[in-house]
Structure 1
Amino acid sequence: MSAAKDCVATLIDDFQKRRPLRAGSLIITIYGDSIVPRGGTVWLGSLSKLVEPIGINERLVRTSVYRLTHETWLKGEKVGRRSYYRLSGPGRRRFEQAFKRVYHGAQPSWSGQWTLAFLTQLPPEKRQQIRDELEWLGFGNFSQGVLAHPVLSRAETMVALQELNAADDTIVMQTQTMEPMTSKPMRQQVRESWNLDELAELYHRFLTKFRPLWNALNTDNDLSQEESFIARTLLIHEYRKVQLRDPLLPDELLPTSWEGRYAHQLCRNLYRLLYQRTEIWLNKHLETAEGPLPAPGPAFYQRFGGLE
């Protein structure tokens, strides 16, 4: 077995050893990475065959898809004796919020402004819920009842708060550009407010897991189409889990040697090596009610700043 093939086998083994085996989360990764760019609908049987080599049997696929449908991630449709599933409306919105972070290109320059959200006037029983939602959007906890975001605008924050029925009870301000934009106490505040040390450790684990595959592929890229699909899927699955915890702060606020920057570069470079054989495999094995899945749309090739 070649080094690259051995790396893929190790990634599969690592995934299968986890308990509980989160098949539903992996299926969402496959929808986001492979199915949505091709129209978004797939026959359940072809999905089952796709994930079987990763260690997810047909029964577990059916159970997971049922649960994802109940949680409004997926929506099913019966055509004859076959079932086809796509992302639901709410599922697609959640997908777009989560996955656009994964494939982002270069970060734009930071303006030096901050958006501040004061939760002090919210009813106590609702305060924790709003804090959790804003932290999911990338806000950091500057002090008790005060959250801050360096990129999200006041208008964008107000839209999010309106959806949460909290706009009338939350004070939202936007600062002017700060000069200097960073300082020693500001960097320390950022490190504490977003727990960058814990996030750096998660990125370090990702780098440790996937660097051997990068080294092997640069020596001899002999992966089959199926192995390329598995490698790409597990790559995005693991990267997505860390990305969901990353506020994607501007470079100006991050440490000079930031593990997240290296992880993004590694994920981008591996994806570019794996995507072509993966797409050929998907052409052969994924079906809609009309036949094979359509080709990926133009937006697919803009991932990671451009694939070609």
Structure 2
Amino acid sequence: MSAKKQLDQLVSEFQKKRPIRAGSLIITLYGDAIVPRGGTVWLGSLARLLEPVGINERLVRTSVYRLVKENWLQAEKIGRCSYYSLTGPGLRRFEQAFKHVYDMTGWEWTGSWTLVLLTQLDGDVRRRVREELKWLSFGSIGQGVMIHPRIRREELLQLLQEWEAFDDTIVMQTHPVEPLSSRAMRREVRESWNLDELGGRYRRFLNQFRPLWQELKDEDTLSPEDCLIARTLLIHEYRKILLRDPQLPDALLPGDWEGRGARQLCRNLYRQIYGRAEEWLDETLENASGPLPGPNEGFYRRFGGLRD
């Protein structure tokens, strides 16, 4: 099967999902393609980019309207054209969502955990904050107690203020007093996060995108538009998994952890197609001043360096 047919299959799989979460895909497109180019784009550009994956202009408009209501995006109207950019809170949420997507650097875990106690929050607020923390890949170690190995306390306090839960939430930082990967700790990790389910999602990602990568190694004939579609779906699916992955240290993960292979595949495929995708973005993206500028230098540092 050719690379083009593999891509068509990926698009078909995306279109079969119900409901189609166009808003989530738009956030992926902002994070991957628009923010590195200044962050503001004409609505018509979004519609043109998303049409090949089966999201029509009407659905784009409806989804963007919802993202504005949810304080992800803000609009600026000039004449008859609308231009959209991330809000301040939207940008912070975006940074949390994309923080680990392009990072290839390892990290040395000190054994410290961030604990969040929700026991003093009212019921509705507690449920909402709990869902927000799960979205940030926190695990649960007990009734009203959430845990994470990586997130910094300062980041979390800022988010709690935005959620209007700062005054009634207790945040603690632990320090280890036992071996970092003790049997008890490994059991606790398995109880706090569903690693089997997470590993299964990584396996599905590998099965989805490995055939495309293999075809591209043999014969790469994808057009710039094809490459943009492939890149968007790649990062979209990978980002959705990372939202549930706390990026646990290797010492607490299975030896055959599928997340390692998924990261390498994502890196290899992205590096193969990003340049032609940028050509399509050069041609398609517009703001009120005309074509968007090229991507910033931070873009080229993705996945350990795109120019290497």
TM-score with structure 2 length normalisation?
0.92
**8 Å Cα contact 1:153/1:174 also seen in 2:** no
Q: Report the alpha carbon displacement of residue 223 of structure 1 after superposing the two structures with TM.
A: 0.8
Preserved contact between residue 43 and residue 286 of structure 1 (Cα < 8 Å): yes
Instruction: Decide whether the 8 Å contact of 2:150 with 2:247 is kept in 1.
Output: no
The answer for the alignment partner of 2:191 in structure 1 is 192
Match of 2:259 in 1: 260
1:111 partner amino acid: T
- Write the distance in 2 (CA, Å) between the matches of 1:63 and 1:170: 35
Aligned to 2:60: 61
Deviates more, 1:115-124 or 1:48-57: 115-124
* Cα drift, residue 258 of structure 1: 0.9
**3-state secondary structure, aligned to 2:103:** coil
Q: Which moved more, 1:167-176 or 1:232-241?
A: 167-176
Shift of 1:155: 4.7
Deviation of 1:143 (Å): 2.4
CA distance in 2, matches of 1:69, 1:158: 24
Alpha-carbon distance between aligned partners in 1 of 2:40 and 2:122, rounded to the nearest angstrom:
42
Secondary structure at the counterpart of residue 111 of structure 2: coil
Q: Summarize the Cα distance change of 1:56–1:145 in structure 2 as closer, same or farther, 3 Å threshold.
A: closer
- Does the Cα contact within 8 Å between 1:110 and 1:252 map onto a contact in 2? no
Q: Which residue of 1 aligns with 2:47?
A: 48
- DSSP 3-state at the match of 2:181: coil
Q: Does 1:287 align with 2:286?
A: yes
Relative to structure 1, the CA distance from residue 158 to residue 76 in structure 2 (aligned partners, 3 Å threshold; closer, same or farther) is closer
Residues 35 and 160 (structure 1), Cα distance of their counterparts in 2 relative to 1, 3 Å cut: closer
Q: Is the 8 A contact 1:107 1:251 kept in 2?
A: no
Judge which range, 20-29 or 198-207, deviates more.
Answer: 20-29
Partner of 1:26: 25
Structure 1's 53 and 118: CA in aligned 2 closer, same or farther, altered over 3 A? Answer: closer
| Deviation of the 1:154 alpha carbon | 4.4
Shift of 1:160: 4.0
Does structure 2 retain, via aligned residues, the 8 Å contact 1:204–1:259?
yes
CA separation in 1, counterparts of 2:294 and 2:302?
15
Q: Deviations over 1:149-194 (max 9, x none)?
A: 2233445444444444444444443332344210222112101201
Partner of 1:230: 229
Does the 8 Å contact 2:153/2:173 carry over to 1? yes
CA distance in 1, matches of 2:233, 2:293: 23
Displacement of 1:57:
1.7
Q: What is the DSSP-based 3-state SS (H/G/I as helix, E as strand, rest coil) of the residue aligned with 1:101?
A: coil
Shift of the 153–292 alpha-carbon distance from structure 1 to 2, 3 Å rule, reads closer
Q: Give the Cα–Cα distance (whole angstroms) in 2 for the partners of residues 55 and 284 of structure 1.
A: 20
Unaligned runs of 5+ in 1: none
1:128-154: CA deviation from partner (whole Å, max 9, x where unpaired) = 333333333333212233332223344
Q: In 1, Cα distance between the equivalents of 2:270 and 2:26? A: 18
Task: Assess if the C-alpha contact under 8 Å between 2:206 and 2:265 holds in 1.
Answer: yes
- Rounded Cα–Cα distance in structure 2 between residues aligned with 1:165 and 1:59: 34
Shift of residue 217, structure 1, vs aligned partner: 0.9
- Alignment check: 8 A CA contact 1:38 1:297 kept: yes
Identical pairs, percent: 63
Deviation for aligned residue 1:122:
4.0
Indicate the residue corresponding to 1:140 in structure 2.
139
**Residues 174 and 289 (structure 1), Cα distance of their counterparts in 2 relative to 1, 3 Å cut:** closer
Task: Note the 1:149-160 alignment, pairs <5 A.
Answer: 149-160=148-159
Describe the shift of the 1:65–1:170 C-alpha distance in structure 2 as closer, same or farther (beyond 3 A): closer
Q: Offset of 1:34 from its aligned partner?
A: 0.7
Residues 49-102 of structure 1: CA deviation (Å, up to 9, x unaligned): 222211122222222222222222222222222222222222222111111222
Provide the C-alpha distance between the structure 1 equivalents of 2:89 and 2:155, rounded to a whole number of angstroms. 19
Q: 1:38 touches 1:294 (CA, 8 Å); kept in 2? A: yes
Taking the aligned partners of 1:172 and 1:54, their CA distance within structure 2 comes to: 42
Residue type of the partner of 2:75? G
Q: Counterpart in 1 of 2:211?
A: 212
